Structure 1
């Protein structure tokens, strides 16, 4: 049997992003592995370690037995501690050790995906023992690996792949979070609409409508007289939504119109991942 057609786009996106990451880090000298990335507290080595760790757990390898240092300022939640384990255990690995482990993991995971015969609705284990479907797991993984590819590109000054298969997965994942950002976290007025006009390598116009009960829904139809509207480029949208920059840091790249308290609240709550 082969991979279910519903899952193939996620496998394709992962393959594209993980091979791009491998290509980015193969020529790095030892010192470049220590360069800072947009992820708080994480170097290039740490981001690659995180990606290796994610794929290791997707493959089914046991998690490392390791005690975290007490002075990691960027680790404050249970999820961050969970994720940091795979990172900290590799902090003293050399460049050849990192690239070799990454290449081996790519080979193993590609083989696993070729032989994957489970249905999209199969329940699998996620971080901290959470249960989710195989489709949710693969979608989230494709999203994460593409975002971390972008983190590495930012750190290394090698922009690219903003319209890759992983970018389209990221668009859908981030758009799925917009209703909660606008209606719940920013508490937009009931019976209102907020419009997002995004341009660049990936373009879209989306409206979040908030109904009389305060529930937000994502629509493709434009709204007349929205309570707020935002115009920004795709790269800035991603960096904001993934918590890589603050709204203040990219104020010159975001055009916000509407009631100032509402636009400020939306931008303040825009990050849906870290």
Structure 2
């Protein structure tokens, strides 16, 4: 796997990426024009205003706010237990003004950064995230991924693309590349003896590949370009080329494969199966 610029890895770099992404979201909030808050986004059932309510409420959740006891059973876009929890937090702030949301977000972010930068804070500290118990490092990786994706949701609704070369973008691409072995071998069910390469043209430039082999009757995805000294057998390769924006929007589940711009060298069917399986956001 190759990636440029590199994704943030340690806690200080993740803290900087977290701060940068949230500042971008806040700046977008302060620049909205009349009618912008009501624009639909690529998240079903969510407007631009709802995106801001989600960012604030999820930050409050991971900082310890109890689950609001609200009924969201009438929301057709809610289809899972996690989705129900997320929607309840969002609903608790759906009627707040944008100014109120941005003011609360500022307080939450200041508290989070103060904790992250404290001398007694360790990346191995236990933390509770949306997917359960993790470490503080794991939580911040999840938070940067989630926040950057929602920044892009807002930008897409407003027709204001940007920040596709930031640490948040690089971390999201890294997450896509890390998921590729499972996506290719298990979800897309690419046959043994085949390899799939994702080639991203930028602004985050990267390349990752997986070959599939059978072990004990089960398919396994073996990473390529890992820098190790393993000699890989000959395989039939399919290369999928797409931009950072196309790859991350597809991986977030915001656009369909049909609406994703990509090119293929190799097996078109395998490429489509991989892109159909590439969604890694909940």
The answer to whether the superposition gives a TM-score over 0.5 is yes
Q: Which structure shows the bigger proportion of residues in helix conformation?
A: 1
Match of 1:80 among 66, 79, 83: 83
Of 222, 231, 241 in structure 1, the residue corresponding to residue 241 of structure 2 is 231
Q: CA deviation at 1:30?
A: 5.8
Q: How many residues align?
A: 266
Say whether the 8 Å CA contact 1:210–1:217 is kept in structure 2: yes
Which residue number corresponds to residue 271 of structure 1? Answer: 279
Q: Distance in 1 between matches of 2:128 and 2:113?
A: 20
CA separation of 1:221 and 1:165: change in aligned 2, threshold 3 A: closer
Counterpart contact for 1:82–1:127, Cα < 8 Å: no
State whether structure 2 residue 39 is matched by structure 1 residue 41: no
Q: Give 1:243 shift.
A: 0.5
Q: 1:145 aligns with which of 130, 144, 147?
A: 147
CA deviations on 1:166-212 (whole Å, 9 max, x unpaired) are 11111111111111110110111113211111102111122112223
- RCO higher in 1 or 2 (8 Å CA, sep ≥ 6)? 2
Aligned-partner SS, 2:192: coil
Cα deviation for residue 144 of structure 1 reads: 0.7
Question: Cα offset for 1:113?
Answer: 2.0
Q: Is the 8 A contact 2:67 2:85 kept in 1?
A: no
Q: 1:191 aligns with which of 190, 193, 198?
A: 193
Could you tell me how far 1:241 is from its partner in structure 2? 0.8
CA distance in 1, matches of 2:71, 2:191: 44
Q: Is the 8 A contact 1:143 1:169 kept in 2?
A: yes
Following superposition, the deviation at residue 114 of structure 1 comes to: 2.1
Gap change, CA 1:117 and 1:73, over 3 Å in 2? same
1:51 aligns with 2:55: yes
Structure 2 partner of 1:94: 97
Structure 1 residues 221 and 169: alpha-carbon distance in aligned structure 2, compared to 1, 3 A threshold: closer
Question: Residue in 1 aligned with 2:71?
Answer: 68
What runs of 5+ residues in structure 2 fail to find an aligned partner? 1-8
Matched residue of 1:37: which SS?
coil
1:134 corresponds to: 136
Residue 248 of structure 1 aligns to a residue whose secondary structure is coil
Structure 1 residue 15: Cα displacement: 0.4
Aligned to 1:219: 224
- Equivalent residue number for residue 254 of structure 1: 262
1:79 CA displacement: 0.7
In the alignment, structure 1 residue 32 sits paired with structure 2 residue 40: no
Q: Does 1:19 align with 2:18?
A: no
Runs of 4+ in 1 over 3 A off after TM superposition: 221-227
- RMSD of aligned residue pairs (Cα, Å): 2.1
**Partner Cα separation in structure 2 for residue 43 and residue 97 of structure 1:** 17
- Structure 1 residue runs of 5 or longer lacking an equivalent are none
Residue 133 of structure 1 deviates from its aligned partner by: 1.9
Please give the alpha-carbon distance, in whole angstroms, between the structure 1 residues aligned to 2:211 and 2:203.
Answer: 26
Which whole-Å CA distance do the structure 1 matches of 2:16 and 2:182 have between them?
28
Deviation larger for 241-250 or 117-126: 117-126
| Cα contact 2:115–2:121 (8 A) shared by 1 | no
